Every structure is written in structure tokens, then in C-alpha cells.
Amino acid sequence: MVRVLFVCLGNICRSPLAEGVFRDLVARAGLAGEIHADSAGTHAYHVGEPPDSRAQEAALQRGVDIGMLRGRKAARRDFETFDYILAMDRENHVNLLAICPRGLEHKLRLFLEFATDRPEDEVPDPYYGGASGFHRVLDMVDEASQGLLADIRARYLAGG
């Protein structure tokens, strides 16, 4: 099993959207039994809460239901459990590096590194904006999810 963790600040906007979109892509590729996705936040403000209603609505408009997800805080042990720890922005990356056990730094990446055709390398925080920000996030995570799946196929699933 390949394990992927998406991480943002609150775990109620960007990372649950990434988890939902990526999980949907994996299921449609017939790989749900081989790739596990989860999400977490670097801060604990929204632990136990469902995703922001604007995120849920934007995802549903694309056929992705994230209503069952609940916020949790990223932990040091996640670096042992997961193969990919994917930060939505540089601030998340810095905060994750601070809890990363020595020797596991290679697991930590910016998620948009996998969106090779995009000039941006950070997913902007949509929390203080309107619905369009959530759709922009969805466009970005859609593209990066495809690149991530290609990377997993090449590194872990090739020939299998």
C-alpha cells in the first residue's frame, strides 16, 4: 500500500479538497486497494470538524463528496506511516519540517511540484475569500493529483 498525506493549515479547506480529488482519481483508476490518502493540518484550530461548507459545496459540484472527512492535526508519527507528505504551501512545509524525524525529510514535498505545467508552487489559502478561490484550489489539486498518480505508478506500481 502506498500512503499519501495532504497537509494544509486548518485541514478544512485545501487538504480535504486534495484528499477528495486524489481519492476520486485513484478510485477511477481502479487503484483504491493500492493507494491510501489522508489529510491533516499543521494547526489544531479545527480538529474534529468537517470541511468548510464552501469546500464541500465546490467539491460536490465536481462530483466529489468530502462531507465525511474530519479535521486532525499532523503528527511526527505521520512521517513513519506515510510515503508522501504533501504541503499545500511553504509555511506548511516549514511547519512540517519542524516535526519531521531526521532522515525522513525526503518524504516531504510541496504538492504543486507534481503539477508540472503550472507556474505556481503553492496552493493559495481560500479561507478568507469567496467561492472562486475554492474552484481555483480544485483546478490546482486536480492537475497535481494527476502528476502525483503518475509518480506513484512509476515509483511503486510499475509493472504491477
Which of 8, 24, 52, 142 is the catalytic position? 8
C-alpha R_g of the chain: 14
Residue 15 or 25: the one with the smaller Cβ distance to ligand 4NP is 15
d(CA 127, CA 32): 30
Q: Which long-range contacts (CB under 8 A, 24 or more apart) does 93-102 make?
A: 95/42, 96/7, 96/42, 99/74, 99/75, 100/76, 101/76
Which of 24, 89, 125, 142 is the catalytic position? 125
The number of residues in the chain equals: 160
153 is catalytic: no
100 is catalytic: no
Residue 69 or 149: the one with the smaller Cβ distance to ligand 4NP is 69
Looking at the DSSP bridge assignments, the partners of residue 103 are none
**Residue numbers at the binding site for ligand 4NP (CB under 6 A):** 8-14, 45, 125, 127
Residue 10 or 20: the one with the smaller Cβ distance to ligand 4NP is 10
Which of 14, 23, 52, 54 is the catalytic position? 14
Question: Known catalytic residues?
Answer: 8, 14, 125
